[in-house]
Amino acid sequence: MIDKNKILKVAANADLGKEYVVVDVEIKPINNFIVFIDSINGITIGDCVKVSRFIEKNINRYEEDYDLSVSSTGIDKPLTSKIQFIKNIGKTVEVLFNDNKSIIGKLNAYNKNSITLTYTAKEKTTETKKNVLVTKDVEIELNKIKSVTIIISFK
């Protein structure tokens, strides 16, 4: 059986003429693989075809038959790579923490250890004891995050 790591390694070596990343490989029953790729400038159908052909050249179908699909990550998939975080700076995201609490805010920055969000929260004022909306910035360490997904808005 072809393993996920082999597909990841081969797919990462395809030459698209631009920087891209293999985000994930999903394995379905009966050797059905779906490879997800992304880049700062987006992924075209042509990019998917190039990666697919490269994988097919480098993994022999005669040794073991498989079904292969290559796709862009799509807007519904969690952000996992540096390229995805940088590409989505300025967008509204939901951060799910390891303790299953979440926060929604605008992604402002990314570095190898953390992300920075701007979010709105309700706080009681000291004078009137009423709730008011305040805008806050927070830096969140990546090791405390379970997932980050883009919030889709149709405004």
pLDDT at residue 72, rounded to an integer: 94
Its sign, for the CA torsion 106, 109, 115, 121, is: negative
Residue 71 has pLDDT above 80, yes or no: yes
Q: Which of 72, 90, 125 is the last residue of a domain?
A: 72
- Does 9 map to a domain? yes
Q: What is the CATH number of the domain that holds 41?
A: 3.30.300.70
- Separation of CA 8 from chain center: 15
**What's the structural domain count of the chain?**
2
CA distances from 27 to 4, 24, 35 (A): 7, 10, 9
The stretch 127-153 carries a mean pLDDT of 92
pLDDT tens for each residue of 89-103:
999 999 999 999 999
pLDDT tens for each residue of 123-136:
888 777 788 899 99
- Does 155 map to a domain? no
- Domain with 134, as residue range(s), is 82-150
Q: Which amino acid is at 109?
A: A
Look up the pTM and report it: 0.82
Same domain, 86 and 46: no
- Separation of CA 142 from chain center: 13
- Does 77 map to a domain? no
